[in-house]
Amino acid sequence: MPIWNPEPLVNIVLALLKVSRDGKLREDEILRMLKYTYSEISRKELLKTLMLLEIRGLIRVVMAKENLLVAELVRED
């Protein structure tokens, strides 16, 4: 049975991107970091969260390689 976490996944992903070196993280890096908080998270759940954040205009997701996505914060200047 999954453990309930009071912090929404979208907030944690945004926080990880904000503390990253340049506001960018690879999908596999995000997934590895999320395993500490959400031990049963799947790639499908992460992709759904990234899509939601991109639709909201908070991040941009680009394909680095065939099966590797990179998420980056959208800078508001």
The domain that holds 47 is classified in CATH as 1.10.10.10
Domain that holds residue 14: 9-73
In a domain, 4, yes or no: no
- Provide the domain count of the chain: 1
Q: For each successive 10 residues of the chain (77 residues), what is the average pLDDT?
A: 73 94 93 88 94 96 92 81
In a domain, 1, yes or no: no
In a domain, 54, yes or no: yes
Q: At 8, which amino acid appears?
A: P
In a domain, 3, yes or no: no
pLDDT at 23: 92
Q: Are 51 and 10 in contact (CB under 8 A)?
A: no
pTM confidence score: 0.86
d(CA 45, CA 71): 15
pLDDT at 3: 64
